[in-house]
Amino acid sequence: MEQLIARVKEIVNLCWGSFSAKVGGDLLSINKEASMQLHFAYILKNSMDLVIHHSNESVSIELEKGILVNQRMRECDIIIRIKKDEEEVILPIEMKCYKTISSSGKLRGAQDLFRYGIYEDLELLESYANKNENRLLGIQLTMTDNRNFVYPKSKKGKSWNYDVSHDTVIKNGIEINIPIGGKEASVKLIHDYHFNWVTKGEFYFLKLEAL
Protein backbone atom coordinates (compact mmCIF):
# COMPACT_ATOMS: atom_id res chain seq x y z
CA MET A 1 0.00 0.00 0.00
CA GLU A 2 2.82 2.44 0.82
CA GLN A 3 4.22 2.14 -2.70
CA LEU A 4 0.79 2.70 -4.24
CA ILE A 5 0.22 5.80 -2.09
CA ALA A 6 3.64 7.12 -3.13
CA ARG A 7 2.78 6.59 -6.81
CA VAL A 8 -0.53 8.42 -6.38
CA LYS A 9 1.22 11.40 -4.79
CA GLU A 10 3.74 11.44 -7.63
CA ILE A 11 0.88 11.60 -10.16
CA VAL A 12 -0.83 14.39 -8.20
CA ASN A 13 2.43 16.33 -8.35
CA LEU A 14 2.82 15.62 -12.09
CA CYS A 15 -0.78 16.64 -12.82
CA TRP A 16 -0.44 19.82 -10.78
CA GLY A 17 2.67 20.71 -12.79
CA SER A 18 0.81 20.03 -16.03
CA PHE A 19 -2.26 21.99 -14.91
CA SER A 20 -0.05 24.94 -13.87
CA ALA A 21 1.81 24.93 -17.19
CA LYS A 22 -1.44 24.76 -19.20
CA VAL A 23 -2.99 27.66 -17.28
CA GLY A 24 0.21 29.70 -17.50
CA GLY A 25 0.46 28.94 -21.21
CA ASP A 26 -3.16 30.01 -21.90
CA LEU A 27 -4.25 26.48 -22.80
CA LEU A 28 -6.71 26.42 -19.90
CA SER A 29 -8.95 29.30 -18.88
CA ILE A 30 -9.79 29.31 -15.16
CA ASN A 31 -12.22 31.95 -13.92
CA LYS A 32 -13.02 30.64 -10.43
CA GLU A 33 -12.38 27.82 -7.98
CA ALA A 34 -15.08 25.54 -9.42
CA SER A 35 -13.50 25.51 -12.88
CA MET A 36 -10.08 25.00 -11.29
CA GLN A 37 -11.39 21.90 -9.49
CA LEU A 38 -13.04 20.47 -12.60
CA HIS A 39 -10.08 20.96 -14.93
CA PHE A 40 -7.57 19.61 -12.42
CA ALA A 41 -9.79 16.64 -11.58
CA TYR A 42 -10.12 15.87 -15.31
CA ILE A 43 -6.33 15.80 -15.75
CA LEU A 44 -6.00 13.74 -12.58
CA LYS A 45 -8.66 11.21 -13.57
CA ASN A 46 -7.11 10.67 -16.99
CA SER A 47 -3.66 10.09 -15.48
CA MET A 48 -4.47 7.79 -12.55
CA ASP A 49 -4.29 4.59 -14.58
CA LEU A 50 -0.51 5.12 -14.65
CA VAL A 51 -0.27 4.25 -10.93
CA ILE A 52 -2.05 0.89 -11.23
CA HIS A 53 0.63 -1.80 -11.43
CA HIS A 54 -1.29 -4.83 -10.11
CA SER A 55 -4.79 -6.29 -10.53
CA ASN A 56 -5.52 -5.88 -6.80
CA GLU A 57 -5.03 -2.09 -6.94
CA SER A 58 -7.59 0.61 -7.74
CA VAL A 59 -7.81 4.40 -7.53
CA SER A 60 -10.93 6.58 -7.87
CA ILE A 61 -11.69 10.29 -7.57
CA GLU A 62 -14.69 12.08 -6.04
CA LEU A 63 -15.51 15.80 -6.04
CA GLU A 64 -17.14 17.78 -3.22
CA LYS A 65 -17.20 14.79 -0.90
CA GLY A 66 -18.41 15.14 2.67
CA ILE A 67 -16.01 14.11 5.44
CA LEU A 68 -17.18 13.89 9.04
CA VAL A 69 -14.91 15.81 11.44
CA ASN A 70 -15.78 16.22 15.12
CA GLN A 71 -19.46 15.42 14.47
CA ARG A 72 -19.60 18.03 11.70
CA MET A 73 -19.75 17.25 7.98
CA ARG A 74 -17.14 19.15 5.99
CA GLU A 75 -17.05 19.20 2.20
CA CYS A 76 -13.68 18.33 0.70
CA ASP A 77 -12.90 19.60 -2.82
CA ILE A 78 -11.40 16.33 -4.10
CA ILE A 79 -10.78 12.99 -2.46
CA ILE A 80 -8.74 10.17 -3.96
CA ARG A 81 -9.71 6.66 -2.86
CA ILE A 82 -6.71 4.35 -2.93
CA LYS A 83 -7.39 0.64 -2.60
CA LYS A 84 -5.16 -2.44 -2.49
CA ASP A 85 -6.78 -5.79 -1.75
CA GLU A 86 -9.23 -5.06 1.09
CA GLU A 87 -7.32 -2.05 2.44
CA GLU A 88 -8.52 1.41 1.43
CA VAL A 89 -7.24 4.89 2.33
CA ILE A 90 -8.43 8.37 1.40
CA LEU A 91 -6.19 11.22 0.23
CA PRO A 92 -8.01 14.60 0.49
CA ILE A 93 -7.19 17.66 -1.62
CA GLU A 94 -8.33 21.21 -0.88
CA MET A 95 -8.06 23.97 -3.49
CA LYS A 96 -8.12 27.76 -3.64
CA CYS A 97 -8.31 30.14 -6.61
CA TYR A 98 -8.02 33.93 -6.54
CA LYS A 99 -8.40 35.89 -9.78
CA THR A 100 -7.88 39.67 -9.64
CA ILE A 101 -10.92 40.03 -11.90
CA SER A 102 -13.77 37.85 -10.66
CA SER A 103 -15.93 35.65 -12.90
CA SER A 104 -18.52 38.48 -12.89
CA GLY A 105 -15.96 40.84 -14.44
CA LYS A 106 -15.53 42.96 -11.32
CA LEU A 107 -12.34 43.71 -9.42
CA ARG A 108 -12.07 41.22 -6.57
CA GLY A 109 -11.27 42.28 -3.00
CA ALA A 110 -11.17 40.33 0.26
CA GLN A 111 -7.47 39.48 0.02
CA ASP A 112 -7.39 38.94 3.78
CA LEU A 113 -10.15 36.31 3.51
CA PHE A 114 -8.25 34.51 0.78
CA ARG A 115 -5.02 34.32 2.79
CA TYR A 116 -6.95 33.10 5.80
CA GLY A 117 -8.71 30.56 3.59
CA ILE A 118 -5.41 28.90 2.68
CA TYR A 119 -4.59 28.48 6.37
CA GLU A 120 -8.11 27.24 7.00
CA ASP A 121 -7.61 24.60 4.29
CA LEU A 122 -4.45 23.39 6.00
CA GLU A 123 -6.28 23.16 9.31
CA LEU A 124 -9.06 21.18 7.61
CA LEU A 125 -6.57 18.79 6.03
CA GLU A 126 -4.97 18.17 9.41
CA SER A 127 -8.40 17.53 10.93
CA TYR A 128 -9.32 15.11 8.13
CA ALA A 129 -6.27 12.95 8.87
CA ASN A 130 -7.29 9.96 10.96
CA LYS A 131 -5.41 6.66 10.96
CA ASN A 132 -8.36 4.84 12.54
CA GLU A 133 -10.55 5.85 9.60
CA ASN A 134 -7.80 5.35 6.99
CA ARG A 135 -7.60 9.04 6.08
CA LEU A 136 -4.22 10.41 5.03
CA LEU A 137 -2.85 13.90 5.61
CA GLY A 138 -3.80 15.65 2.39
CA ILE A 139 -2.62 18.28 -0.07
CA GLN A 140 -3.52 21.95 -0.54
CA LEU A 141 -3.36 23.51 -4.04
CA THR A 142 -3.64 27.24 -4.77
CA MET A 143 -3.51 29.41 -7.88
CA THR A 144 -3.67 33.19 -8.31
CA ASP A 145 -2.80 35.95 -10.74
CA ASN A 146 -2.27 38.43 -7.89
CA ARG A 147 1.44 39.03 -7.39
CA ASN A 148 0.84 40.74 -4.03
CA PHE A 149 0.06 37.42 -2.35
CA VAL A 150 3.37 35.98 -3.48
CA TYR A 151 5.74 38.96 -3.45
CA PRO A 152 4.03 41.67 -1.37
CA LYS A 153 5.46 45.17 -1.35
CA SER A 154 4.43 45.42 2.30
CA LYS A 155 2.67 43.35 4.93
CA LYS A 156 0.62 46.01 6.66
CA GLY A 157 -2.31 44.98 8.81
CA LYS A 158 -2.86 42.15 11.25
CA SER A 159 -4.29 39.91 8.55
CA TRP A 160 -0.74 39.39 7.26
CA ASN A 161 -0.22 37.18 10.29
CA TYR A 162 -1.79 34.68 7.88
CA ASP A 163 1.29 35.03 5.68
CA VAL A 164 1.20 33.18 2.36
CA SER A 165 4.11 34.96 0.64
CA HIS A 166 6.89 33.09 -1.13
CA ASP A 167 9.37 31.29 1.14
CA THR A 168 7.20 31.61 4.26
CA VAL A 169 8.01 28.74 6.63
CA ILE A 170 5.83 27.34 9.40
CA LYS A 171 7.94 25.38 11.86
CA ASN A 172 6.48 23.23 14.63
CA GLY A 173 2.99 24.39 13.76
CA ILE A 174 1.36 27.74 14.47
CA GLU A 175 -1.65 29.18 16.29
CA ILE A 176 -3.18 32.48 15.13
CA ASN A 177 -6.17 34.28 16.62
CA ILE A 178 -6.67 37.32 14.39
CA PRO A 179 -10.15 38.53 13.27
CA ILE A 180 -10.74 38.60 9.50
CA GLY A 181 -13.30 40.85 7.83
CA GLY A 182 -14.55 42.03 11.20
CA LYS A 183 -15.33 38.48 12.30
CA GLU A 184 -13.58 36.21 14.76
CA ALA A 185 -11.09 33.88 13.11
CA SER A 186 -8.45 31.49 14.33
CA VAL A 187 -6.24 28.72 13.00
CA LYS A 188 -4.17 26.06 14.71
CA LEU A 189 -1.71 23.96 12.73
CA ILE A 190 0.55 21.25 14.12
CA HIS A 191 2.72 20.43 11.10
CA ASP A 192 5.53 22.18 9.24
CA TYR A 193 4.94 23.90 5.87
CA HIS A 194 7.01 25.74 3.27
CA PHE A 195 5.25 28.19 0.94
CA ASN A 196 7.13 27.67 -2.31
CA TRP A 197 5.27 29.41 -5.14
CA VAL A 198 5.95 28.56 -8.80
CA THR A 199 5.41 31.14 -11.55
CA LYS A 200 3.88 30.08 -14.87
CA GLY A 201 3.09 32.87 -17.31
CA GLU A 202 1.07 35.48 -15.44
CA PHE A 203 -0.02 33.06 -12.72
CA TYR A 204 1.39 31.76 -9.46
CA PHE A 205 0.87 28.23 -8.17
CA LEU A 206 1.35 26.73 -4.71
CA LYS A 207 1.34 23.14 -3.50
CA LEU A 208 1.35 22.68 0.27
CA GLU A 209 1.92 19.38 2.00
CA ALA A 210 2.98 18.75 5.59
CA LEU A 211 6.75 18.34 5.87
Phi and psi torsions of 99, nearest 5°: -105, 135
The count of C-alpha atoms lying within 13 angstroms of the C-alpha of 116, restricted to the half-sphere facing its C-beta, is 18
Note the pLDDT tens digit of each residue in 130-188. Answer: 887 899 999 999 999 999 999 999 898 888 999 999 999 999 999 999 999 888 999 99
Is 8's pLDDT higher than 80? yes
Percent of the chain clearing pLDDT 90 (strictly above):
82
Distances (CA, A) of 123 to 26, 86, 177: 32, 30, 13
pLDDT at residue 145, rounded to an integer:
96
Q: What is the pLDDT of residues 51-95, one digit of tens each?
A: 999 999 999 999 999 988 888 889 999 999 999 999 999 999 999
Q: What pLDDT is recorded for position 169? A: 97
- Three-state DSSP class for 124? helix
Query: Is there a contact between 193 and 208 (Cβ–Cβ < 8 Å)?
Result: yes
pLDDT at 146: 95
What is the model's pLDDT at position 106? 74
How high does pLDDT run on average in the chain?
A: 94
DSSP 148: H
Strands 139-144 and 87-98: parallel
Q: What is this structure's pTM?
A: 0.94
First-to-last CA distance in the chain? 20
Q: Does position 103 have pLDDT exceeding 80, yes or no? A: no
User: Percent of the chain, pLDDT > 70?
Assistant: 100
pLDDT at 157: 83
Instruction: Write down the domain spans for the chain.
Output: 2-209
